[in-house]
Amino acid sequence: MQLMAWSDQFVTGLETVDAQHHALVNLVNAAAPHLAQVGDGAVRAAGPFLDKLFHYAATHFRDEEQLMREAQLAPQYVEQHRRSHAAFVDEVKLMQRQAEIDGNLSGNELLRFLTSWLTFHILSEDKKMAAQMSAIRGGASAAQALADVDTSEGAPHAVYTAALIDLFTLLTERNRTLLQANERVRAAQDELAAANQLLETRVQQRTAELAAANASLEQERQALVLSMARLEQTQGQLLQSEKMAAVGQLAAGVAHEINNPIGFISSNLSSLSNYLKKLFELIEVYEQQSAVPSAAILEARTRADIDFLREDVPSLLQESSDGLTRVQRIVGALRDFSHVDDGQWREADLNEGLEAALNMVGNEIKYKAQVVKELAPLPPVECIAAQLNQVFVNLLLNAAQAIEVRGVITLRSRVQDESVLIEISDTGTGMSPEVKKRIFEPFYTTKAVGKGTGLGLSICWEIIQRHQARIEVDSAPGAGTTLRLLLPRVHPIAPQ
């Protein structure tokens, strides 16, 4: 079925424009058998066809308007031509809406519209456009070219053009009338939907009392669950506090008991070192005074291996002294960790608290990580030192437990404005965003059952809040974790 035949009278002389016009004629002829069907067949064919029309119009109108600008046609004519393009696009949109929403688009009327518009557009608009371009290339001005085109049409051509315009207007008004009718149908559908909504509302009102009762019961249940959780949290905190108090008392007692033997062992080692020094000096004098020692002396000297003893005994004494110093440092850490556990606000050096905490958990860390210290001198901070020591211990243990094989734990401290910044970083497994959001929740733990209570970081959070401090967490899976504590140097409610 060939609805529209291409003829020489459609040729404008513009190669790009003529090729696109010819393509549109072919597109219309290809779609005509499907659009001419009666019933749903035409509506089903209209959707894809209108999509192709949109694509064609976008390309064709763009190219035509570009040609007019390049040829510098009269601005009033270019605007008129552009409005013709816009009217076509608006009409196709209305038809597409009829096809998609209402399903009552007539395929025959769509074909009549396209053939009429195409004939009108080529013979009236595009021929004028081509004539003006030709006149301008011949040396005429844009205004003269437009004037010549406007006066060159004969009466028969004017009548033909007017008839086409009338048909175009008629089709436009028909589509708008159909659209208004569809709007009325949709309004009726909206009224029906409102009636259905009213019926649903009445049904909901009948069940409102039951829903309210269920909501009330659910609120009571949630309140009970929350109360139980708070009770468990309080109980856990009490147990933790009692445990820390017991640890503090034990640490203080152990420190006191160990200090006494440490004192006399240290003194004895010092005396023994002096005695041995004098003894070796005496042996050296005897050797110098006896030019020819007896066989018994030589044999005894060989058995004693005096030369080896001279080298090894000072080394043994130094190792013993170093070990004793290590014990004294651990005892000092125990004393520092426990002696302020009275809940009083006092000035403390947080670097010392970090060192004490590190000594407390050193055995846990040394097999898992290398500890790097980047501690700057800090001013005294008003705090409850024992509680902050507990925070440091928990954070160090968590850092060590996050390292699977071997890693690095870095301790940093510095002054920041009127606060002190403490950082504890590890090269462990890191945390996902979901875990990071919940690490300070009571009883939340990622450890296996029986490996953790989930209270450590929760208690740390409460201690930090009590100090009106701030804690920040930087962590990502596989990238380790950094925890930053920012503590004010003077606590707002601490006694002055």
Joined tokens for residue 103: 């399903």
Question: Pick from 155, 183, 201: which residue ends a domain?
Answer: 201
List strand residue ranges (DSSP E) for 330-480, in order: 346-348, 369-375, 381-383, 407-416, 419-426, 470-475
Do 323 and 348 sit in the same domain of this protein? Answer: no
* Helix%, strand%, coil% for the chain, nearest 5: 70, 10, 20
Specify if 218 maps to a domain.
Answer: no
Specify if 217 maps to a domain.
Answer: no
User: Which residues does the chain have with pLDDT short of 50?
Assistant: 154-156, 159, 340-341, 448-455, 494-496
Contacts of 465 by beta carbon, 8 Å cutoff, 6+ apart: none
Contact 16, 64 (CB under 8 A): no
Q: Pick left, alpha or beta for residue 18 (phi over 0 → left; psi -120 to 50 → alpha; otherwise beta).
A: alpha
Do 321 and 358 sit in the same domain of this protein? Answer: no
Do 165 and 38 sit in the same domain of this protein? Answer: yes
The dihedral built from the CA positions of residue 132, 133, 138 and 139, taken in this order, carries a sign that is: positive
Could you tell me the CATH number of the domain that includes residue 69? Answer: 1.20.120.50
Per-residue model confidence (pLDDT) at position 365: 86
Element (H, E) at 452: none
Specify if 235 maps to a domain.
Answer: yes
Do 358 and 335 sit in the same domain of this protein? Answer: no
Could you tell me the CATH number of the domain that includes residue 266? Answer: 1.10.287
Joined tokens for residue 163: 């008839």
Specify if 92 maps to a domain.
Answer: yes
Burial of 4 (0-12, 13-18, 19+ CB in 10 A): middle
Per-residue model confidence (pLDDT) at position 270: 81
Q: What residue has token string 């042996």?
A: 283
Do 38 and 81 sit in the same domain of this protein? Answer: yes
Specify if 334 maps to a domain.
Answer: yes
Torsion angle (degrees, nearest 10) of CA 199, 205, 207, 208: 150
Of the candidates 490, 471, 462, 452, the residue with the CA atom closest to the CA atom of residue 387: 462
The SS3 call for residue 230 is helix
Per-residue model confidence (pLDDT) at position 73: 92
Q: What are phi and psi of 401, to 5 degrees?
A: -70, -20
pLDDT digits (tens, 9 = 90+) for 320-350: 887 877 777 777 666 655 554 456 788 889 9
Do 320 and 410 sit in the same domain of this protein? Answer: no
Question: Pick from 271, 304, 339: which residue ends a domain?
Answer: 339
**305/165 Cα distance (integer angstroms):** 128
Of the candidates 390, 437, 388, 428, the residue with the CA atom closest to the CA atom of residue 408: 428
**178/157 Cα distance (integer angstroms):** 32
Do 137 and 99 sit in the same domain of this protein? Answer: yes
Per-residue model confidence (pLDDT) at position 423: 93
Do 260 and 351 sit in the same domain of this protein? Answer: no
Contact 359, 333 (CB under 8 A): yes
Per-residue model confidence (pLDDT) at position 290: 67
Q: Which domain holds residue 145?
A: 8-201
Pairing of strands 369-375, 407-416: parallel
Torsion angle (degrees, nearest 10) of CA 39, 41, 44, 48: -130
Do 307 and 163 sit in the same domain of this protein? Answer: no
DSSP state, residue 10:
G
For helices 385-402 and 456-466, angle between their N-to-C axes, nearest 10 degrees: 140
**176/383 Cα distance (integer angstroms):** 79
Q: What residue has token string 């017991």?
A: 246
The SS3 call for residue 428 is coil
Question: Pick from 339, 362, 385: which residue ends a domain?
Answer: 339
Rounded to a whole number, what is the distance in angstroms from the first to the last CA of the chain? Answer: 101
Of the candidates 173, 172, 179, the residue with the CA atom closest to the CA atom of residue 104: 179
Do 153 and 191 sit in the same domain of this protein? Answer: yes
Do 426 and 357 sit in the same domain of this protein? Answer: yes
Per-residue model confidence (pLDDT) at position 412: 93
Per-residue model confidence (pLDDT) at position 422: 92
**7/3 Cα distance (integer angstroms):** 13
What's the distance, CA 28 to chain centroid? Answer: 52
Do 347 and 435 sit in the same domain of this protein? Answer: yes
Per-residue model confidence (pLDDT) at position 296: 75
Contact 358, 385 (CB under 8 A): no
Pairing of strands 470-475, 481-488: antiparallel
Specify if 213 maps to a domain.
Answer: no
Q: What's the total number of domains in the chain?
A: 3
List strand residue ranges (DSSP E) for 187-245, in order: none
Specify if 437 maps to a domain.
Answer: yes
**64/149 Cα distance (integer angstroms):** 18
**424/482 Cα distance (integer angstroms):** 6
Specify if 226 maps to a domain.
Answer: no
Q: Pick left, alpha or beta for residue 443 (phi over 0 → left; psi -120 to 50 → alpha; otherwise beta).
A: left
**238/246 Cα distance (integer angstroms):** 12
Per-residue model confidence (pLDDT) at position 361: 82
Maximum Cα–Cα distance for the chain, whole Å?
Answer: 155
Q: Mind giving me the DSSP string for 144-183?
A: HHHHHHHHS--HHHHHHHHHHHHHHHHHHHHHHHHHHHHH
Could you tell me the CATH number of the domain that includes residue 496? Answer: 3.30.565.10
Of the candidates 45, 84, 59, 42, the residue with the CA atom closest to the CA atom of residue 168: 84
CA separation, residue 209 to residues 216, 221, 290 (Å): 11, 18, 117
Per-residue model confidence (pLDDT) at position 425: 92
